[in-house]
Amino acid sequence: MVRLPYFTALTTLFSYGLLFAFGQMRDLFRKILDLPKSKKVQGYAPICLGLEDFYTRRLYLRAQDCFGRPIASAPDSWIDVVDRYSNDNNKTLHRTSNITKCLNLGSYNYLGFAAADEYCTPRVIESLKQYSPGTCSVRVDGGTTKLHTELEELAARFVGKPAAILFGMGYVTNSAIIPALIGKGGLIISDSLNHNSIVNGARGSGATVRVFQHNTPSHLEEVLREQIAEGQPRTHRPWKKIIVILEGIYSMEGELCKLPEIMAVCKKYKAYTYLDEAHSIGAIGKTGRGVCELLGVDPADVDIMMGTFTKSFGSCGGYIAASKEIIQYLKHTCPAHLYGTSMSPPAVQQVISAIKVILGEDGSNRGAQKLAQIRDNSNFFRSELHKMGFEVLGDEDSPVMPIMLYNPAKIPAFSRECLKQNVAVVTVAFPATPLLLARARICISASHSREDLMKGLEVLSKVGDLVGIKYFPVESENSHAEAKLKKLE
Amino acid sequence: MAKLYKQTVPPPDMNKNTEWFMYPGVWTIYILILFFSWLIVLSIFGCNAGMAWTLVNLFHSVITYYFFHWKKGTPFAEDQGMYNNLTWWEQIDNGKQLTRNRKFLTVVPVVLYLIASHTTDYQNPWLVLNTFAVFVLVIAKLPNMHKVRIFGINAD
């Protein structure tokens, strides 16, 4: 659902056109100026074909200082950002030794485990001394420690499935598992806004990939019916298997998937479901068990549940939780398990301790407190931003809230102004989002106190006025517009 | 002025090079850019209205021919070269022919041609140039020309 003021759509398209025109002119002059230079590498093919790097060179590099800022501390609610300067208009950036302490509104630190924690950190240091930072081996050789087996059982229990398998990287979990689960002759139906790891895994599997409109169970049903009726591409034989891939919280929209309806559609047409809970595990649901708990879906219905430890647990790595047979099969076939180094033991211990805190098994109720805190923080922040007139996406209870910027010039303006006022935000533009819909993505953490949130709101409001992104009129008219909107939906 | 809000659900288009064309406001901004460039040409060259429309028509033809029908591929590397053999015109709407977007883009050069030739009173040097431009553009946009490379020009 795209909602934007008409005038903003026109100006955004015009701005992109202008940037494109300038980029083309600069390329033209570069070609002319480079004509007399001799080509020392005769006979070699060019690294970049044609215009492949045009976007990077002419649009991304202009605002490069807003992306990839180095940090100098743990990503807690306040974070140290290293200052950088550039002598050639952002083509190259140089680090200084100055550090700015900023309010951290960009890290995926949903439950506050990213910085030192009173229960987790001593245990992690203990395991670092005992098991050392790396296992120096793959899981099947010598890389499975006691911690790994303990975490697999704990993760499976936490999510509500019989068994689980771990991987060292969240991205790799998706891109290496999907090819192990499905191959040529199978069909993958994935949500149109799925993460790049899923897209890569689907492409690498060799199966046919179809896309359904984001979060629209009726369109999914349409696609399923059409594909089941047609069968495989040329032979029209029935598909070997059909997997529908969706995410718990979509990180660019902050909205939850319509899990019950989509599960009903998949059950009806006997398609397998693969749920990627990277952002939702540990952050939503009454006891933090993710989107299944929040929306009341039985975890036994979802065939494969994937998640990462990077977001809510303050560690790194990913897991797949499914039935015992599937996990056994994956342990024998998935190349990331057979040939990739196992997770670092202190990282495993961090996840174990974090899950124990969330479940309350550490003997305190800090887990429940953190979950309540993040829910309250997210709802408070979102409602305040709405009241100020920003266009904020995302559902209730979701800790991810993108603020729409639209115009390409507002991306670096917003980012730089916020940094000047000591707030670190993450801005996302094309091609990670659609062209017109550039946004600044705010991630709220349980470690943000009320004062932090108030400061954040104050800075965002000031910067929003400066940059001009308060697209929707304030309170009184906003409720009128929302009522009209509800009628249209 | 009442704030107009547009609300649409664009169909899922995986090609990031062309999906921006499905959003509201694209047709309007295209027409507005043409109109404003006419005003700018008038103010820079100080010619009469017909000459200005002819200049706009010719520049528009050259620019759109180059970007829609000559340049192939996409300006970023994420799609791993999937569209490296297709021009922008062949990529939009996933290659489906005769969609609303394609019909609109075919009509625009024709309308520009009519305006340009009318305002120059169908006088000769401009008429030939305008006609040639519109012929080339409209033929390039016909559905039969999908993925056709005449005499191997601009082939891989």
Task: Specify the amino acid at residue A440.
Answer: A
Neighbouring C-beta atoms of residue A239, cutoff 10 Å = 17
For residue A10, give the nearest of B8, B29, B81 by CB distance: B29
Beta carbons of B9 and A213 less than 8 Å apart: yes
Find the residue in A nearest to B79 (Cα).
A52
Question: Residue B10's pLDDT is what?
Answer: 66
Best B1, B8, B20, B28 residue to mutate vs chain A (most A CBs within 10 Å): B20
From chain A, the residues in CB contact with B84 under 8 A are 49-50
Average pLDDT estimate for B36-53: 90
Task: Specify the amino acid at residue A218.
Answer: S
Neighbouring C-beta atoms of residue A20, cutoff 10 Å = 16
Beta carbons of B23 and A3 less than 8 Å apart: no
CB pairs under 8 A between A and B: 100
DSSP-derived secondary structure for A53-78 = THIIIIIIGGGGGGSS--B-S--SSE
Q: Where are the beta strands (DSSP E) in A338-398?
A: none
Q: Could you tell me whether strands B5-8 and A2-5 are parallel, antiparallel, or unpaired per DSSP bridges?
A: antiparallel
Beta carbons of B6 and A431 less than 8 Å apart: no
Task: Specify the amino acid at residue A59.
Answer: L
For residue A13, give the nearest of B8, B25, B76 by CB distance: B25
For residue B24, give the nearest of A6, A16, A54 by CB distance: A6
Q: How far apart are CA B137 and CA B135, in angstroms?
A: 6
From chain A, the residues in CB contact with B3 under 8 A are 5, 473
Q: Where are the beta strands (DSSP E) in A192-303?
A: 208-212, 242-247, 272-276
DSSP-derived secondary structure for B92-111 = GGGG-SS-HHHHHHHHHHHH
Find the residue in B nearest to A51 (Cα).
B75
Q: What is the mean pLDDT of each run of 10 residues along chain A (489 residues)?
A: 79 91 92 79 77 86 90 91 90 91 91 88 93 90 91 94 93 93 93 90 92 91 93 91 92 88 93 92 88 91 93 91 94 91 92 92 87 92 91 87 90 93 91 84 91 93 91 59 48
Q: How far apart are CA A211 and CA B15, in angstroms?
A: 12
Nearest to A242 by CA among A201, A186, A203: A186
Number of H helices, E strands in chain A: 16, 14
Beta carbons of B12 and A13 less than 8 Å apart: no
From chain B, the residues in CB contact with A485 under 8 A are 7
Question: Residue A173's pLDDT is what?
Answer: 93
Average pLDDT estimate for B32-54: 91
Q: How far apart are CA B153 and CA B150, in angstroms?
A: 6
Question: Residue A305's pLDDT is what?
Answer: 94
From chain A, the residues in CB contact with B10 under 8 A are 2, 434
Number of H helices, E strands in chain B: 5, 1
Q: Does B2 touch chain A (CB under 8 A)?
A: no
From chain A, the residues in CB contact with B156 under 8 A are none
For residue A431, give the nearest of B33, B71, B76 by CB distance: B76
CB B58 within 8 Å of CB B129: yes
**What are the tens digits of pLDDT across the range B64-106?**
999 999 888 888 877 777 888 888 998 888 888 888 889 999 9
Mean of per-residue pLDDT scores for chain B: 86
Nearest to A280 by CA among A312, A310, A252: A312
Output the CA angle B50-B56-B57, nearest 5 degrees: 90
CB A155 within 8 Å of CB A173: no
ipTM of the complex: 0.86
From chain A, the residues in CB contact with B8 under 8 A are 2
From chain B, the residues in CB contact with A56 under 8 A are 76-77
Compute and round to an integer the Cα radius of gyration of chain A. Answer: 24
**At residue A22, what are phi and psi to the nearest 5 degrees?**
-60, -40
> What is the least distance, in Å, from the CA of A58 to any CA of chain B?
10
Beta carbons of A435 and B19 less than 8 Å apart: yes
pLDDT confidence band for B3 (50 / 70 / 90): low
Find the residue in A nearest to B63 (Cα).
A21
Q: Which of A202-206, A369-373, B9-13, B25-29 shows the lowest mean pLDDT across its residues? A: B9-13
Best A8, A10, A246 residue to mutate vs chain B (most B CBs within 10 Å): A10
Q: Could you tell me whether strands A163-167 and A400-404 are parallel, antiparallel, or unpaired per DSSP bridges?
A: unpaired
Find the residue in A nearest to B75 (Cα).
A52
The set of residues, in sequence order, having a beta carbon less than 8 Å from that of A471 and lying 6+ positions away, is A4, A5, A8, A389, A390, A391, A404, A406
Find the residue in B nearest to A48 (Cα).
B77
CB A210 within 8 Å of CB A254: no
Q: Does B74 touch chain A (CB under 8 A)?
A: yes
> What is the least distance, in Å, from the CA of B156 to any CA of chain A?
11
From chain B, the residues in CB contact with A10 under 8 A are 25, 28-29, 32
From chain B, the residues in CB contact with A212 under 8 A are 12
From chain A, the residues in CB contact with B74 under 8 A are 51-52
From chain B, the residues in CB contact with A246 under 8 A are none
Find the residue in A nearest to B32 (Cα).
A10
Beta carbons of A485 and B7 less than 8 Å apart: yes
The residue behind tokens 């300067």 is: A85
Q: Residues of B numbered 82-101 whose beta carbons fall under 8 angstroms of chain A's beta carbons: which are they? A: 84
Question: Residue A483's pLDDT is what?
Answer: 47
Nearest to B89 by CA among B139, B25, B45: B139
Beta carbons of A55 and B32 less than 8 Å apart: no
> What is the least distance, in Å, from the CA of A199 to any CA of chain B?
10
For residue A431, give the nearest of B16, B29, B32 by CB distance: B16
How far CA A427 is from CA of A67, A200, A402, in Å, comes to: 8, 23, 9
From chain A, the residues in CB contact with B15 under 8 A are none
